[in-house]
Amino acid sequence: MKKALCLMIAAVTALSAFMFAGCAETNTETTAADITTAEATTEPETTEILPELPDVRYDGRVFRVLLPDGMDSDVYTEDHETSEPVHDAVFKRNKTIEDMYGIKLIVMKDDLGAVNNRIRMSVKAGTDDYDLCYTQMVSGASLAQSNCVLPFEKLPYVDLSKPWWDKDIGNGFSIRNNLMMVNGDLSPSGFAATSAMYFNKTMFDKRDLEYPYRLVKDGKWTLDKLYEYTKDATADVDGDGKISADGKDDVFGFSTWYLDAPYSLYYAAGGMLVFKDADDVPYYDPNVERDTKIYGKIYDIIITNNAYFETSLPKFPNVSKLFFDGRALFLDAKLDTAEELREMDDDYGIIPVPKLDEFQDEYKSFVNGAANMICVPVTVKPADREYVSVIIEDMAAEAYKTVTPVLYETYLKRKVTRDAESAEMIDYIVRNRVFDMAYVNINESIGSYVRDLLVKKSTDVSSTLKKYKNSAKKKIEGIVKAFDKSLSK
């Protein structure tokens, strides 16, 4: 019996449309045409998305999960419901899987930095300690290069073509069509690590500026538009002759952290540093002309327009606090930053990070390196791979059915947004998340060149990209060699 775990995709759209239409009377941004369009989308559809799984039970077996402390939302370890919607949806997902297969989920947690070491120690000792592991994207990527994790292609019932797996993940993690780490509905925290742009509606109103929602919908929300909005917005309001975040009145057009905007703006504009050949082997091939254009626009937004660009870890809280206090027109941050803004006095909206230009087909969203990825230790025996793959695939499929709608509709669209338009913008933000092997695996050199140039206020893109040519090539060759060694096991 195949497990009929399905999601009524159109029902999500219908619920969103109903929510948008219901806000029409109180939201001047919603037009009659929008309401008509929304109402037209409420016809229910019944397309079922099914995992292709065997009719099996594993009575008495345990399924062992290793999870970093602080990432409880991906699995949750409590044995009861708490009335918190996302928590309870995950709890129900877990219970459904346990009952369906007669198994028990056992969750082990450790400090973030210790998780990778525990996986390595287990592999080195040859002990079969875990069936599924969660690890941060950048810090955990090295596990795939040290023969610690299995390619998901060796897990017979994990179907990476299904919608509960992130569609672009292979660009950052696959080599020779073998994917060592994945992301998707199995990791609710992954959505929260997606980059977004916040704007202060109160400041917009005082400046008689149009909210950017229509620009987004029309495909015209671009870096040039962000530059126009933030030009001359940074100001010395208190008149002390300097513009400072430490004051009480000075305002900024844009506020961000040096580990956010350099990446989110670059990748949203279509930037990419590592590409794949016909055999899915990566190679370094920067488009200098394109990158120079992208970087020039980012430089103008952050440096020329005098953004608050924080590079100090102790002062990192100032980035969102400036926005919270009504002193920044825009904030570039992850989706989960909205949690920090719940008590903000000024009204705000959420939109995707802008495109390079109107000719770019779609909005793209950078996924922060703090996002959880999942992997399977290489110590899982061949005889156990069917079991492990069945449970992983059904956990992901059940999350797609029961967790993601709650996360997407109840958490993201209702609890952290204040209006129908921002809720709609979440669709644009999470629809096309992108991954680059340069960021994932070469983060402290070529993968962070935009960040490093901005910190130095340099515009030397061409020579920087050329400088990294040999080292990037050597690094990628080493990664491929390590992958090949893992694949031979």
Would you put residue 376 in left (φ > 0), alpha (ψ -120 to 50) or beta? beta
Residue 489 has what pLDDT? 59
Question: Nearest to residue 333, comparing CAs of 298, 306, 368?
Answer: 368
- The class level of CATH for 62-191+369-403 reads alpha beta
Query: Closest by alpha carbon to 404, among 197, 198, 163?
Result: 163
pTM score of the predicted model? 0.84
* The domain over range 195-366+432-487 is classified in CATH as 3.40.190.10: yes
| Predicted pLDDT of residue 26 | 37
Which CA distances in Å does 266 have to 8, 200, 449, 458, 464? 34, 23, 10, 16, 15
Q: CB-side exposure of 447: number of CA atoms within 13 Å?
A: 20
Residue identified by tokens 């995709």 is 9
Separation of alpha carbons 217 and 215, rounded Å: 6
* Residue linked to tokens 């980012």: 298
Looking at residue 134, what is its pLDDT? Answer: 94
Per-residue pLDDT at 347: 94
- Cβ neighbours of residue 85 closer than 8 Å, sequence gap 6 or more: 406, 410, 411
pLDDT of residue 2: 40
Q: Quick check: do 62-191+369-403 and 195-366+432-487 share a fold?
A: yes
Tell me the C-alpha distance between 325 and 145, whole Å: 44
What does the pLDDT profile of the chain (489 residues) look like in tens digits? Answer: 444 333 333 333 333 333 333 333 334 444 334 433 333 334 444 467 889 999 999 999 999 999 988 777 788 767 778 888 888 999 999 999 999 999 999 999 998 889 999 999 999 999 999 999 999 888 888 888 888 999 998 999 999 999 999 888 888 888 988 888 999 899 988 888 999 999 999 999 999 999 999 999 999 999 999 999 999 999 999 888 889 888 788 999 999 999 999 999 999 999 999 999 999 999 998 899 999 999 999 999 999 999 999 999 989 999 999 999 999 999 999 998 998 998 999 999 999 999 999 999 999 999 998 888 999 999 999 999 999 999 999 999 999 999 988 888 877 787 788 888 888 898 899 888 899 988 988 877 888 999 999 999 999 999 999 999 899 999 999 888 888 876 765
Domain ranges of the chain: 62-191+369-403, 195-366+432-487
